[in-house]
Amino acid sequence: MNKEIALKWLKQAKHDLEIAEKNISIGGYDIAAFLSHQSVEKLLKSIFALEGKKIPKIHYIEDLGKRLHLSNQILDKVIDLTGDYTFTRYPDVAEQLPYEIYTKDIAISKVEKAKHIFAQLENRYKELLKNEE
């Protein structure tokens, strides 16, 4: 993969995280959780691209994290976001509707976990970007 493709993934990842946070202020708590997952998925896929690996066509971010050999500390946060891909999208997965399940506190927690993952991986993707120059 080339740097241009990796940067597209990274820019979209950062945008998704920004919009996730904005959804909290309008009560879109399920959307904030979903976009937190999406931001991390895209961040991880950008790292695959920067490392010259084929980007897996999966949404299971725990698997992506394991393939990238993330530390257990980061992987724990990734695992917490993994289920949000399904639970936030499908109204028949749980007893309640997604927008009824996700609260402001849950949404804030999801966004904070995604931000933490970005912060923990920042040196890794910055170093990879530097190596691409």
Please report how many Cα atoms fall inside a 13 Å half-sphere around the Cα of residue 106, on the Cβ side: 18
Q: What does the DSSP 8-state code read for residue 53? A: P
* pTM of the shown model: 0.93
Contact 75, 89 (CB under 8 A): no
**pLDDT per residue as tens digits for the range 60-112:** 999 999 999 999 999 999 999 999 999 898 999 888 999 999 999 999 999 99
**pLDDT per residue as tens digits for the range 25-40:** 999 999 999 999 999 9
Residue given tokens 């993994």 in the structure block: 82
What residue spans define the domains of the chain? 3-132
Q: The domain 3-132: what is its CATH number?
A: 1.20.120.330
Contact 41, 17 (CB under 8 A): no
